[in-house]
Amino acid sequence: MKYTEEHEWLRVEGDLVVVGITEHASTQLGDVVFIELPEVGTVAAKGDEVVVIESVKAASDILAPVDGEIVEVNDVLVDNPALVNEDPTGEAWFFKMKIDDMSVLDDFMSEDEYNDYIG
């Protein structure tokens, strides 16, 4: 997995990049109560707001970590947003993207670098 400074994780599955938030982010948010996912087919640029997530503590936006097309969303989260707190780096992924250049993932942090980042 790769990690962003915005506390997102990225995992390569075949020719797709799966995106979710880290356990650290999930803990910081508190109990997640609502998630709005993007539409399949959305073309996002790095930094675009693509997911809205609301918790008992705050509302937050999840940004597209790379340029690409959203080809699948995790509809389970709409009915069960608490899954983000239960399994943030597994079953609670947000979306899958098709990107043109997988080498852009080299710019993100490794797990060790991310753990150092969050201290």
| Residue 39 domain-assigned (yes or no) | yes
Average pLDDT, the chain: 96
- Domain limits at 21? 2-101
Q: Residue 81 pLDDT > 90, yes or no?
A: yes
CATH number at residue 83: 2.40.50.100
| Residue 108 domain-assigned (yes or no) | no
Question: What pTM, to 2 d.p., does this model score?
Answer: 0.94
Over residues 8-14, mean pLDDT: 96
Q: Residue 58 pLDDT > 90, yes or no?
A: no
| Total of domains in the chain | 1
In order, the DSSP letters of the chain are -EE-TTSEEEEEETTEEEEEE-HHHHHHH-SEEEEEPPPTT-EE-TT-EEEEEEESS-EEEEEPSSSEEEEEE-THHHH-TTHHHH-TTTTT--EEEE-S-GGGGGGSBPHHHHHHHH-
Please report the pLDDT score of residue 5 as a whole number. Answer: 95
pLDDT category, 14, cuts 50, 70, 90? very high
pLDDT category, 86, cuts 50, 70, 90? very high
Please report the pLDDT score of residue 44 as a whole number. Answer: 97
| Residue 97 domain-assigned (yes or no) | yes
| Residue 33 domain-assigned (yes or no) | yes
Over residues 44-64, mean pLDDT: 94
| Residue 55 domain-assigned (yes or no) | yes
Over residues 61-69, mean pLDDT: 96
Over residues 6-11, mean pLDDT: 96
